[in-house]
Amino acid sequence: MTTKAFEAATVHGEMFDTNELVINMGPQHPSTHGVLRVVLRLDGEKVVDAEVVIGYLHRGIEKLSENRNWTQIILLTDRMDYVAAATSNVGYCETVEKLMAIEVPRRAKYIRTILMELQRIASHCLWVGTHAMDIGAMTVFLYAFRERELILDLFEEFCGARLTYNSMRIGGLPLDIPPGWDKKVLAFCDIMDGKVDEYETLLTHNRIWLERTKGVGVISGPEATALGLCGPALRGSGVARDVRKDEPYSAYDEMDFDIPVGVQGDTYDRYLVRMEEFRQSLRIIRQATQGIPEGPIVGKVPRLIKPAAGETYHAIESPKGELGYFIVSDGKSTNPYRFRVRPPSFCNLQALPRLVRGHLVADVVALIGSIDIVLGEVDR
Amino acid sequence: MADAPEHAPKAAVPTGPVEPPPPADAAVPGYITSLQNGVPGSVTQLSLYLGDWTVIVPASHLLQAGRYLRDNAACAFDYLSDLTATDWPPRTTEGRFDVVYMLYSTKHRHRVRLKVKLGEDQPLASVTGLWPAANWLEREVFDMFGVNFTGHPDRRRILMPEDWQGHPQRKDYPLEGPGELLMENPLDWLKLRQAREEADIE
């Protein structure tokens, strides 16, 4: 015979489930890299399930863009991935150029490539610093920010801003590079070469680092592809997918570089992939800086930007992964009819519950760092 | 809402996207002909613009076509790079929404765009079973447009708060709320709100 109370207790099973605990991580948590909330279901210290709650930084950039003219939108794209703003600028401008069939001069393409690769290094510097600090290695943070500062100085000299650059225009660039800037870029490459090795001496063979990252958040290549992971997170699982190689844009078809891929698909491999990307980016910057062609920096752009009616999708490789723009023009008004961003961080963050299942709470921090998200881009 | 169109674009509202048919001499890629033969009735229209192929699929054939495109060796579209929607409110015959799927094949490195035309309350089968990546993307489309996905494992709002009214990316959704009116003249704002509430009740 079962009593009523017993029935109630078995129906609502949690009365007997004393060892499962639901806790909130964030939205105000230093290692969630912004306003990200993760609801964790814990069994002791093991994560049974996780739910990601986003939207705290939603500013409606897509809706806003549909009510601004084509040039004003460049400024809004800065505010998505704010640690690699120039990359978002280029992605948007190239989509509009594709829509209007504007030929961009080679000089502008080369300078864009240099800027984008500098951004990749700056973004990876921020990533390696914060990721290592989340796991407990404080020193790397200070070292990485020292070099990021040099890149921000280069950007300041190029366009006057240090974070949100607004440094592109549809059809080319607003300004040519200042005299002597290319020499400074090359000098930076020489400094950076040694510094990447320095980060690696601190981490790659560090026993604590290996313990904390090896075998954490393993995901196979086919599963990562199906989950829509992109960028270093996908390449860490052994899928050689890079928009720069597969669908070249800007001057990447003229550059010689390799795509590093991982084997295990764990946090350590994703770390190694990004460390190698530092070196490949430096290789691209050297080639591009030494080969900047002479010529104009803006193509033939009509005074009033008003693409013909039609739609297109164009993707570029941002430091976080595939950054795509889907833009529909109605051909009548001076603003896009539909403006859609495919944010790489959003698609990567989707895999977090899958990655953290079965790991410890401390590994959640490592995994958030490992997929490298920027909440400005996740929430838009 | 009566006072919203102030911010709306001045030009006439378009009734649908431009989908130019491919020119007669364009070679249709193998994966599209394969889809046409493999799943009869799955391609109602083809379009080629700026080098992008778009296949317009009827909502009833979406899952079949998606499964074929993913599993057939010549297609192998294993990567869903984006899923989004476009709103065309004046379009009444085919329904107001275009749901757009950007597919990519990591094996063959080709792209195709699938498009489904859909009415406001018409259900659309979720593709989360084919590409798990669609989970959040469909949640966003549901949140922003109110597209009625069926068979989705977790259909909730994602960017907006759970108790939010309306779907912000629809073209008839106002761009601004009360804003300055509330700050400058709260009484006027209250009257406006009351008028709106009464209009809603009636």
The 10s digit of each residue's pLDDT in A199-219 is 988 888 888 889 888 888 899
Which residue from A54, A311, A338 is facing B49, i.e. has the nearest CB?
A311
Q: Give the confidence band of B3 by pLDDT, cuts at 50, 70, 90.
A: very low
Assess whether pLDDT exceeds 70 at residue B86.
yes
E strand or H helix at A328: strand A321-329
Residues 6 or more apart in contact with residue B101 via CB below 8 angstroms: B66, B80, B82, B83, B113, B114, B115, B116, B127
CA dist., res. A206 & res. A46, Å (int): 25
Q: Give the sheet arrangement for strand B97-104, strand by strand.
A: B45-49, B52-56, B111-118, B97-104, B79-87
Q: Does B102 touch chain A (CB under 8 A)?
A: yes
The CB density around residue A305, as the number of other CB atoms within 10 Å, is: 17
Which chain B residues are closer than 8 Å to A60 by Cβ?
A: 168
Distance, CA of A255 to CA of A273 (rounded, Å): 19
Query: A31 vs B150, which has greater pLDDT?
Result: B150
To the nearest 10°, the Cα dihedral for A8, B153, A339, A106? Answer: 130
Cβ–Cβ under 8 Å, residues A116 and A90: yes
A30 or B87: which leads in pLDDT = B87
Look at residue B180 in the predicted model and tell me its pLDDT: 62
Bridge partners of residue B116, in order along the sequence: B99
pLDDT at B83: 92
Strand partners, A229: none
Q: Which two tokens stand for residue A369?
A: 């760092």
- CB atoms A310 and B86 under 8 Å: no
Closest among B97, B94, B100, B101 to B145, alpha carbons compared: B97
Helical segments of B43-123, H only: 62-71
Could you tell me where the beta strands, DSSP code E, fall in A95-229?
none
In this complex, which of A64, A241, A311 lies closest to B106 when CB atoms are compared?
Answer: A241
Backbone angles phi, psi at A83, to 5 degrees: -95, -5
pLDDT at B7 over 80: no
Residue of A nearest to B87 (CA): A338
What stretches in chain A show pLDDT beneath 50? 1-3, 5-6, 8-9
User: What ipTM describes this predicted complex?
Assistant: 0.84
**pTM score of the predicted model:** 0.85
Q: Which of A1, A35, A21, A9 is nearest to A373 (CA)?
A: A35
Say if CB A272 and CB A262 are below 8 A apart: yes
Provide the shortest C-alpha distance from residue A70 to chain B (in Å).
13
Confidence of residue B200 (pLDDT cuts 50, 70, 90): low
Amino acid at B23: P
Task: For residues A164 and A87, give the distance between their C-alpha atoms in angstroms, rounded to a whole number.
Answer: 11
With CB atoms and an 8 Å threshold, state whether B49 touches A310: yes
Residue with tokens 């629809």: B170
Which amino acid is residue A37, in one-letter code?
Answer: R
B131–chain A nearest CA distance, Å:
5
A349 within 8 A of A330, measured Cβ to Cβ: no
Query: Which chain B positions have a beta carbon within 8 Å of A322's beta carbon?
Result: 81
Give the helix, strand, coil percentages of chain B, each rounded to 5: 30, 20, 50
Contacts of A330 in chain B (CB under 8 A): 11, 14
The continuous run of DSSP H or E covering B199 comes out as helix B186-201
Residues in chain A within 8 Å Cβ distance of B100: 326
CB contact under 8 A, A311 and B18: yes
Q: Give the pLDDT of residue A13.
A: 52
CB–CB of B81 and A342 under 8 A? Answer: yes
Tell me the residues of chain A between 235 and 294 that have a Cβ less than 8 Å away from chain B.
239, 241, 246-247
- The pLDDT of residue B119 is 86
Place of tokens 């100085």: A153
Examine the pLDDT at B179 and tell me if it is beyond 80: no
A-chain residues near B79 (CB < 8 A): 225-226, 228, 241
What b-and-e string marks burial along A20-48, b requiring 16 or more CB atoms within 10 Å of the CB?
eeeeebbbebebbbbbbbbebebeeeebe
Please state whether A9 falls in left (phi above 0), alpha (psi between -120 and 50) or beta.
Answer: alpha
The torsion region of residue A217 among left (phi > 0), alpha (psi -120 to 50) and beta comes to: left
Q: Is A338 on the interface with B (CB under 8 A)?
A: yes
CB pairs under 8 A between A and B: 110
From chain B, the residues in CB contact with A312 under 8 A are: 49-50, 52
> Is residue B160 a contact partner of residue B170, using CB atoms and an 8 Å limit?
no
Domain regions of chain A by residue span: 51-379
Distance from CA of B152 to the nearest CA of A (A): 15
| pLDDT reported for residue A9 | 47
Return the SS3 of B76. coil
Task: Give pLDDT, residue A1.
Answer: 41
Nearest CA in chain B to A54: B159
Q: Whole-angstrom Cα distance, residue B42 to residue B72?
A: 15
pLDDT at position B178: 58
Q: What is the β-pairing status of strands B79-87 and B97-104?
A: antiparallel
DSSP H or E stretch at residue B150: strand B148-150
Helix (H) or strand (E) holding A327: strand A321-329
Mutation target vs A (from B84, B108, B135; most A CBs, 10 A cutoff): B84
Tell me which DSSP letter residue B59 carries. Answer: G
Place of tokens 């290789």: A283
Count CA atoms closer than 13 A to B106's CA, side-chain side. 22
- Nearest neighbour of A347 by CB, restricted to B49, B86, B133: B133
**Neighbour count for residue A18 (Cβ, 10 Å):** 7
Place of tokens 């890629």: B29
Per-residue exposure over A80-117, b if at least 16 CB sit within 10 Å of its own CB, e if not: bbebbbbbbbbbbbbbbbbbbebebbbbbbbbbbbbbb
Contact B50 A332 (CB under 8 A): no
Interface of B with A in 33-92 (CB under 8 A): 49-50, 52, 78-82, 84, 86-87
- Within an 8 Å CB–CB cutoff, is residue B128 touching chain A? no
Higher local confidence (pLDDT), B172 or A237: A237
Dist. CA B87–CA B95, nearest whole Å = 9
Q: What is the pLDDT of residues B14-71, one digit of tens each?
A: 777 777 777 778 788 888 888 888 888 888 888 888 888 899 998 888 888 999 988 8
Question: Helix H segments across B21-76?
Answer: 30-38, 62-71
State which residue of chain B sits closest to A57, comparing Cα positions.
B159
> CATH for A51-379, among 1.10.645.10, 1.10.10.10, 3.40.367.20, 3.40.50.300?
1.10.645.10
Question: How crowded is residue B196: how many other Cβ atoms within 10 Å of its Cβ?
Answer: 13
Question: B173: buried, middle or exposed (CB in 10 Å: 19+, 13-18, 0-12)?
Answer: middle
Report helix, strand or coil for A179.
Answer: coil
pLDDT given at position A281: 92
Interface of A with B in 6-65 (CB under 8 A): 54-55, 58, 60, 62-64
pLDDT digits (tens, 9 = 90+) for B89-121: 888 778 888 899 999 998 888 899 999 988 888
How far apart, in whole angstroms, are the C-alpha atoms of residue A70 and residue B61? 36
Place of tokens 């004393």: A18
- By Cβ distance, the residue of B11, B79, B80 closest to A332 is B11
